[in-house]
Structure 1
Amino acid sequence: MHVPIFQVDAFTTRRFAGNPAAVVLFDEFPADAVLHAIASENNLAETAFIVPTGEQYAIRWFTPVTEVALCGHATLASAAVVIERLEPSRSQVTFSSKSGPLMVSKNDDGYVLNFPIRPWQRVALPPGLAEALGVMPVEVLSDVVNYTAILEHAQLVRELKPNLAAIAQFDRSGVVVTAAGDQGYDFVSRYFAPAKGIPEDPVTGAAHCALTPYWAERLDKTSFRAYQASQRGGEINCRLVGDRVELAGSCVFYLEGTIEI
């Protein structure tokens, strides 16, 4: 069997930046073992698998080691594949997923993703977190997926060199670090998820589903220019809309071909 594959750099306007995602198109989803094998072979933070279902597409996301319930950058990449390659007459697409319907619209500046917020709560400092990060957080948030450590200033986020082996042992899939922004950004962040096979994710759309409502509370506004300060780096424009978050960004195609299964 030969199936189409695309690799797209998401949340960036230039190639070799942002977060690379693979997008694989099937007529129907194969066995999970096949999906796991393809994602492992791709060895990217995320591989998205999409299947047409009438006017919509079903979507699933896999890291090299596990399936995840929500992924922003691979959804952005998938929308670009649908709108720019598969159905160029379209300007929006809705994906059915384990996190509900996800709508992506194309505009003159790129794409806008509409995702559910990720509710969080403040918690006591988890044992070992400060040691794993090498810095004491100002406060810590917890959601169903991650811990989020609020740091004193942006330079701490940018310079952080965490103990990834220690982070992999926590009872959450990953750790987000964030601080009020610098260099014209409202806030900056980074994301470490070694337990999911992602030592550091270059740009994490799903993490901003929790970061956006947090910074809305902190800064008393609803629209933000955010920067994820990984080595590749990426920009996301975020807007809180009720119980949804709009994440806007661009993407660039890197690779198009077929894989043999």
Structure 2
Amino acid sequence: MRIRIVDAFTDRPFAGNPAGVLLLDSFPDDAWLQNVAVEVNHAETAFTHPLPADGEADWALRWFTPTTEVALCGHATLAAAHVLHTTGAHRGPVRFTTRSGVLVATPGDDGSITLDFPTAPLTPVAAPNGVAEALGAEPLATFDTGPNTGDLLIEVADERTVLGLTPDHKALARYSKRGIITTARAEDASRGYDFVSRCFFPNVGIDEDPVTGSAHTALAPFWSERLGRTTLTGLQASPRSGLVRTELRGERTHLTGHAVTVVDGELLA
């Protein structure tokens, strides 16, 4: 069985967010899927199989972290679409049926892929007691991102604060279902991005996610309102780093990025 490792939201190897991708005939039992995700040991592993023609979707898609299945994942969806397109398993836009509804991935002429995802509903909430100490920064604004992701979005003072965060991951786990998205406006938009973020997801076994597509379904409406533009670029400033182009379209958010296959091998188990 072929297994690929794809770096998503980057156009070069060893950057962006790596994901395992397996093209299957059908989904085996959940224990096997979880064991493969543990073996791959990246933030997510994507499992996908073709569906009958003329349905609402072309492929079924599921995502597993090393500890659990998740309801929405951007970078592993991008990685799966990249494998389908580069191997010729699917041509043109691909419709995935997922736990978050039908998600569409459309290839661009420049080699990028655009994901059509549900926009996260942002609800202002009071910063929980202790979250500033766990994060290591004082929140300026705090939002719940809704049931699909279950994150807490926290705006902090500036880009330098985001870059310098050294949170207590164990302590952060008590403040949201999945994790914490931290963000600030870019200090210099001429560098090619409008806002910066980092994402910490200890509740799904990921202390810091390199580049999080699903987080940008919340970051896009947050920054579009503040910056007065529907099309933006976000830098997720993890050690691997990556860029996500966002376009807010009401209840849907388009996320655009590149991907690179770095491993193409055989799974023997």
SS of residue matched to 2:232: strand
Amino acid at match of 1:204: T
Deviation above 3 Å: which 4+ runs of structure 1? Answer: none
In structure 2, list runs of 5 or more residues that go unmatched: none
- 2:258 maps to 250
Aligned-partner Cα distance in 1 for 2:84–2:15: 21
2:162 to 157, 162, 167: 157
Q: Are the structure 2 counterparts of residues 226 and 171 from structure 1 closer, same or farther at C-alpha, using a change threshold of 3 Å?
A: closer
Which residue, out of 211, 234, 239, partners 2:247?
Answer: 239
Most deviating of 163-172 and 12-21: 163-172
What letter is aligned with 2:117? Answer: F
| CA distance in 2: counterparts of 1:21 and 1:155, whole angstroms | 28
8 Å CA contact 1:132, 1:167 repeated in 2: yes
How far residue 26 of structure 1 moved from its aligned partner, in angstroms, is 1.3
Deviations 1:139-192 (A, max 9, x none): 111123100110111111011111111112224210000001133421110000
Q: CA RMSD in A?
A: 1.1
Distance 1:170 1:142 in 2: 10
Distance 2:170 2:60 in 1: 34
Matches within 5 A, 1:135-214: 135-143=137-145, 144=147, 145-182=150-187, 183-214=191-222
| Counterparts of residues 34-53 of structure 1 (less than 5 Å) | 34-53=32-51
The aligned runs of 1:1-261 (5 Å cut-off) are: 3-55=1-53, 56-87=58-89, 90-109=91-110, 110-143=112-145, 144=147, 145-182=150-187, 183-261=191-269
Q: Percent identity?
A: 46
SS of the aligned residue for 1:213 comes to: helix
Q: Greater share of strand residues, 1 or 2?
A: 1
- SS of residue paired to 1:230: coil
Supply the distance in 2 between the matched residues of 1:241 and 1:49 (Cα, whole angstroms): 28
Task: State the secondary structure of the residue aligned to 1:54.
Answer: coil
Q: Which moved more, 1:40-49 or 1:169-178?
A: 169-178
User: Unaligned stretches of 5+ in structure 1?
Assistant: none
Measured in 1, the distance between the counterparts of 2:52 and 2:260 equals: 27
Corresponding residue SS for 1:37 = helix
Say whether the 8 Å CA contact 1:83–1:92 is kept in structure 2: no
Aligned mates of 2:182, 2:238 — CA distance in 1 = 11
Residue type matched to 2:50 in 1?
Answer: P
Shift of 1:34: 0.6
Q: Which amino acid aligns with 1:43?
A: N
Separation of aligned partners in 2, 1:172 and 1:18: 24
Counterpart-to-counterpart distance in 1, 2:144 and 2:169 = 19
- Cα distance in 1 for partners of 2:230, 2:36 equals 38
Name the SS of the counterpart of 2:207 in structure 1. strand
Distance 2:67 2:60 in 1: 21
Read off the aligned partner of 1:39 and give its amino acid letter.
Answer: A
Deviation at 1:249, TM superposition (A): 0.4
Q: Secondary structure at the match of 1:203?
A: coil
Pairwise CA distance, 1:54: 2.7
Query: Are the equivalent residues in 1 in contact too, given 2:152–2:175 (CA < 8 A)?
Result: no
Q: Which amino acid aligns with 1:224?
A: L
In structure 2, give the amino acid aligned to 1:244: R
TM-score by length of 2: 0.93
Query: 1:192 and 1:13 mapped to 2: Cα distance?
Result: 23
